[in-house]
Amino acid sequence: MSGSGTTAGDDPLQTAVWRLRSRGCWTDAAALLAPRTADPAAALERAGLLVERCLFTCEGWAEAEDALRTAEAVARDDEERGGAASERGRLAYAATRLGVRDRADEARSALGRATALLSPASPRRPLLDFRRGLVSEHIVDASQAALASYHRAYAGATAQVRPVAAVF
């Protein structure tokens, strides 16, 4: 680590976003990404931040929906569309699990769509499998399916040499 708190070569924007996110300042982090939402990666990251805020605070549902619509609109390929579908599934899961609105069917549908779009070797696949496990365990009440999804998530994260904690 350098004296400025970043590693040489790190993108200052990503460092700032990470710092804000790690402190629970999701709105501020999303605001940093707002000018770049024409870029699919930035739009998806912004949507993910706002969905995460909903999951932790149970607030900001409309803003997260808008960010997801933007991410879906600017997605150019199956990988980006699959990432957006995975985030939509996470938002629907959170709304259902937190009792905001029953969106269980939407969660299953969006995660199924993401499964069809993302290749098995996709770096987003372990996270998708983990989210599918959450839906299976907490919404569908299918513990065997959840366990299988969690195993796939772990195996995928390990195969990609990614720390499991960073994936989830």
**10-residue block means of pLDDT along the chain (168 residues)?**
50 93 95 96 96 96 97 97 98 97 97 96 95 96 95 90 52
Q: Is 104 exposed, middle or buried (0-12, 13-18, 19+ CB in 10 A)?
A: middle
| Angstrom distances, CA of residue 62 to CA of 70, 107, 117 | 12, 17, 25
pLDDT score for 167: 46
Rounded CA separation 35/31 (Å):
8
pLDDT score for 68: 98
pLDDT score for 3: 38
pTM score above 0.75? yes
